[in-house]
Amino acid sequence: MKASGRRGWRSARVRAGGLAVALAAAVALAGSPACAASAERPKKLLSYDYDGGDDGGGEEGLYGDRIVTDRPHIAEAASTVGLGRVQVENGYTFYSDNAAGTTTQLHSYPETLVRAGILQEWFEVRVQYNAFSESTAGPAGTSLLQGSDDLYLGAKVGLAAQAGLLPEFTIFPQMRVPTGSPVYTADEVLPGMNFVYAWRAGERLEIECNTNVNRRRNPAAAGYYTEYLQTFNFEYDVGPKVMLFNEFVVFAQVGGVGVPQQAYSHGGLHWFLLPNLQIDVHAAVGLNEAAADFFGGSGLSWRW
């Protein structure tokens, strides 16, 4: 796997004392009586000027009481967790690539994303911690790198529900802050934005797309560049307990010397043990030479 490819996938997935205080404040606010979920509160900040009637059901669709997660697909969900709710998503992913006689394997864990709905139904705060163990073996010898990734901080703002052909629309202002290990940190704050748009295309089918624009570090050129991430995700409900997905993912860049475009086909399933408890499994293959050959893993998510 190329160094730039590993950086791209690390980018796509989110000081201990400050984090603990921030999470405690978010959880306390989410669970406070003043922020108790209310049917009168709007689930979206805005609405389309549309007279078509049915809004398509949005992300919740057929099974509205079921947990909706941002994993294991790269495409993140358009729905928020809801006022007064806290959701924790965890996972493990294994990456493997062989290029020019060099084999690279990377373990990504715990991929912990904490989401808390505060202030309004359509707003949530997000914090993600992750770490890596990366081994390389080739003609030049072997190496092992281990450490934490930079901390991901963000928010999710649900702007509008689906209205006919007009999609459910959500934005993610987000950034990575330089808290990671020396081998993985970008050494500066990296801002970004994710635009999410989704359609309920049938009773059981949803189309979910993300357009990500983020500032990234280029370790090969000792500089920074703009990364564009585009996803096209298709989710199909087999029943109340199982949902399948298949997505196509493209990484592109502007100003990233030596950072190639990558494309992947990625699929998996969500298994809902309970309405608030999910297990997932997923796997992907690279579609071009610059992409990693394979990655896959599993995860556990819950909410309260």
Q: What is the pLDDT along the chain (304 residues), one digit of tens a residue?
A: 433 444 454 444 433 334 333 444 444 444 444 444 445 567 899 988 765 544 555 555 567 789 999 999 999 999 999 999 999 999 999 999 998 889 999 999 999 999 999 999 999 999 999 999 999 998 888 999 999 999 999 999 999 999 989 999 999 999 999 999 999 999 999 999 999 999 999 889 999 999 999 999 887 767 889 999 999 999 999 999 999 999 999 999 887 677 889 999 999 999 999 999 999 999 999 999 999 999 999 999 999 9
How big is the CA angle at 156 (ends 153 and 161), to the nearest 5 degrees?
Answer: 170
What's the rounded Cα separation, in Å, for the pair 301 and 90?
6
How big is the CA angle at 28 (ends 22 and 30), to the nearest 5 degrees?
Answer: 100
**Partners of 8 in beta bridges:** none
What's the rounded Cα separation, in Å, for the pair 52 and 161?
13
| CB contact at 8 A, 151 and 129 | yes
Helix (H) or strand (E) holding 104: strand 102-117
Single out the residue of 216, 220, 196 nearest to residue 208, CA to CA.
196
Encoding tokens for residue 22?
């921030």
Which backbone phi and psi does 251 adopt, to 5 degrees?
Answer: -105, 130
What's the rounded Cα separation, in Å, for the pair 86 and 118?
9
How big is the CA angle at 153 (ends 150 and 159), to the nearest 5 degrees?
Answer: 145
Question: Which spans in the chain are helix H?
Answer: 3-12, 16-31
Helices (H) and strands (E) counted in the chain, each on its own, are 2, 13
Encoding tokens for residue 98?
């062989």
- SS3 at position 39: coil
Query: How crowded is the C-beta side of 203, counted as CA atoms within 13 Å?
Result: 3
Which distant-in-sequence residues (6+ apart) come within 8 Å of 14 by Cβ?
113, 126, 127, 128, 129, 130, 151, 152, 154, 174, 176
Helix (H) or strand (E) holding 46: none
Encoding tokens for residue 296?
């896959």
What's the rounded Cα separation, in Å, for the pair 23 and 10?
23
Encoding tokens for residue 245?
């997905």
What's the rounded Cα separation, in Å, for the pair 163 and 72?
27
Q: How many CB atoms lie within 10 A of CB 177?
A: 17
| CB contact at 8 A, 224 and 253 | no
Which distant-in-sequence residues (6+ apart) come within 8 Å of 25 by Cβ?
none
Domains parsed from the chain with CATH numbers? 3-303 (2.40.160.40)
| CB contact at 8 A, 233 and 254 | no
Single out the residue of 295, 296, 299, 297 nearest to residue 279, CA to CA.
299
